[in-house]
Homo-oligomer: A and B are copies of this chain.
Amino acid sequence: MLLDKKIPLKYIANKVKYDLLVVLLIGLVTNVLTQKSFRYLPEMPLSIPAFLGTAISILLSFKMNQSYDRWWEARKVWGAIVNDSRSFVIQLQSLLGRDETDLIRKLAYRQIAWCYSLGQSLRGLDPVEGVGHLLSETDQSYIKTHLNKPLALIQLNARDIRDLRSNNRLEIFPHLQLDNTLVRLVDAMGKAERINGTVFPATYRHFLHFIIYLFVVTLSIALQDVRIIFEIPLLLVISVGFFLIEKSAYHLQDPFRNRPSDVSVTAIARTIEINIRQLLNETDVPEPAKPNEFYIL
């Protein structure tokens, strides 16, 4: 997640450098074609690029909307994970017997591991890295055989809860209540995977780029009478605005790519760990995640 700090120019420039080069090239070529005593280019009334610019704003606005919605939905899903992780532990403490603290700790640690593991798996990183100390050896070897590690972790929690019940240490109703919480966690996991795995309609993006370039070409032709020292910067600043917004949207729409604009799943998982450990009355809790220069992951 990008913080509300000064965002380095380098980060922003990096996003659009290739597009700006193309715009620069278009400006120069147009200039050559018009200035060099032969005039290859037609008169272009300014209303053509002006209306194209309006059209781009509208289409960009749609894109920004949907991308923002995906990002916000992803953030909501992780918000639900925070809530259900907390509720899960409070429910365990409330519904299980007072002498089940060991089991509660085991389930709670697995829940913490699930959060870290899901975050890393969404980002395409190793889903078991750094969660070893939260899991027993048996657990670790069990999930090794599974393609979807977080799903296997939930299955293990469900299994332990069933065993409690088989041993008559849990009644059927609290069992079902905990089952409801697990269902919600499976839901949240699936929702995050859905956002991660669904490609935003790719053609739309191509058409948008196409229209932005069309805008640049028509604008540069329309401005052929303006001196090149004013025309090129004008072309660049107007088009950089469009490209930057398009890139922002592009980055928002895939919020689990290990990029600065990601939903900060590691930091959220850390918050969950702190909350859960404090609910377990542990005093030795880790520090909240520290932001990088201008973002937090």
Footprint of B on A, CB under 8 Å?
Answer: 1-5, 7, 12, 41-43, 45-62, 64-66, 68, 71-72, 75-76, 78-80, 82-83, 86-87, 90-91, 93-95, 98, 145-148, 151-152, 154-155, 158-159, 161-162, 166, 171-177, 179, 181-183, 186-187, 189-191, 193-194, 198-199, 201-204, 206-207, 210-211, 214, 218, 225-227, 230-231, 234, 237-238, 241, 244-245, 248, 252, 261, 274-275, 278-279, 283, 285
Chief secondary structure at chain A's binding surface: helix
5 of the cross-chain contacts (CB-CB < 8 Å) are A55-B56, A58-B60, A83-B187, A87-B183, A91-B158
Q: CA of A248 to CA of B21 in the docked complex: distance in angstroms?
A: 29
| A42 partner, pick from B58, B227, B283, beta carbons under 8 A | B227
Query: Judging by beta carbons under 8 Å apart, are B201 and A2 in contact?
Result: yes
A4-B202, A90-B155, A174-B172 known; A210+B42 contact, CB < 8 A: no
Query: Judging by beta carbons under 8 Å apart, are A2 and B161 in contact?
Result: no
Given contacts A48-B238, A55-B241, A61-B62, 19 further A-B contacts (CB under 8 A): A1-B198, A7-B203, A42-B231, A46-B48, A47-B47, A49-B51, A54-B57, A59-B60, A62-B65, A68-B201, A76-B194, A91-B183, A94-B158, A148-B275, A151-B278, A201-B252, A207-B248, A211-B241, A214-B238
Can you name the residue of chain B whose Cβ is closest to the Cβ of A194? B79
Query: Judging by beta carbons under 8 Å apart, are A248 and B173 in contact?
Result: no
How many whole Å from A229's CB to the nearest CB in chain B? 8
